Amino acid sequence: MATLLLSILIFFLGASVGSFLSVVVYRIEKKKSGIIFGHSFCPSCKKRLRSRDLVPIVSYLMLRGKCGQCGTKISPIYLFIEIVTGLMFLSLYFRYPFLESASLESATLSTPLLISFTFFAIYTSFFVAIFFYDLKTKKIPDVFLFPLILFTAVGTLTLGTPSFVSVLLALAIAAVFFGGQIVVSKGKWLGEGDFYLALALAIIFGWELFVTNIVISYFLGAIMGIALLATKKATKKTAIPFGPFLVLGAIITIFFGQDLMNLYLSNLTI
């Protein structure tokens, strides 16, 4: 029971962060001031949202996807971002169950798990913002990238994993593989933003999982590319942003990277 209650709370914590992220993405894209502390308002009627219109997921469903004051339709993408972030936080909680017990009174808190949960919750929040922003604008803004790199450096130092040598190797791979592609293609295949994102992923994962991340991302990218070409939604010249595939690959790597790597390695030795 306590676990169920806690799971719901963690999900809504994630959904609230998702709600915040969609506002951040909107404001950075429209170059609005007050990225963090400004009041939320309806982009159509410019009225400030009432607090009861700000409950993640619930408000959207109650208002049937419309502004509570002028009735303008609100894109379901906002609801989607809230649900996705909520599910992400919940999955992270199952991976790092920092509070476990039969009842809330006898709950014991595991500080190491809480720290892991917190850092990975921060990383995935950045990933969600980068995913939707890059998909929309084909750019990754510096205001996401440099704080993310800073958080990953602090996170890896705090968690003590991956090792320093592993991170250095991963950074070298990122520099050669992504830096090389940018130089060779003069920035046509990959943008500078993808490069900085790759550095952050290298710091999070260390070289083995970072390589896993890259393989998954290119695999997803290839599937998407083939699907777009087959359905004639794109030609060979269409520029598809790579950032969304990198973060999607990173999320898969967080949850399944170790298993995928073990699977690969066990098949290799047979």
User: Which window, 6-14, 41-49, 96-104, 153-161, contacts Zn ion (CB under 5 A)?
Assistant: 41-49
Q: 45 or 226, CB closer to Zn ion?
A: 45
Contacts of 93 (CB under 8 A, 6+ apart): 6, 7, 10, 117
67 binds Zn ion (CB under 5 A): yes
Q: Can you tell me which of 44, 110, 118, 181 binds Zn ion, judged by CB under 5 A?
A: 44
For residue 214 the two structure tokens come to 């890259």
148 binds Zn ion (CB under 5 A): no
54 binds Zn ion (CB under 5 A): no
45 binds Zn ion (CB under 5 A): yes
User: Which window, 21-29, 44-52, 117-125, 170-178, contacts Zn ion (CB under 5 A)?
Assistant: 44-52
Q: 10 or 67, CB closer to Zn ion?
A: 67
Q: 61 or 70, CB closer to Zn ion?
A: 70
227 binds Zn ion (CB under 5 A): no
Write each residue from 70 to 89 as x if it is in contact with Zn ion (CB under 5 A), else as -, in one continuous string. x-x-----------------
Minimum gap (Å) between residue 38 Cβ and Zn ion: 16
Minimum gap (Å) between residue 54 Cβ and Zn ion: 13
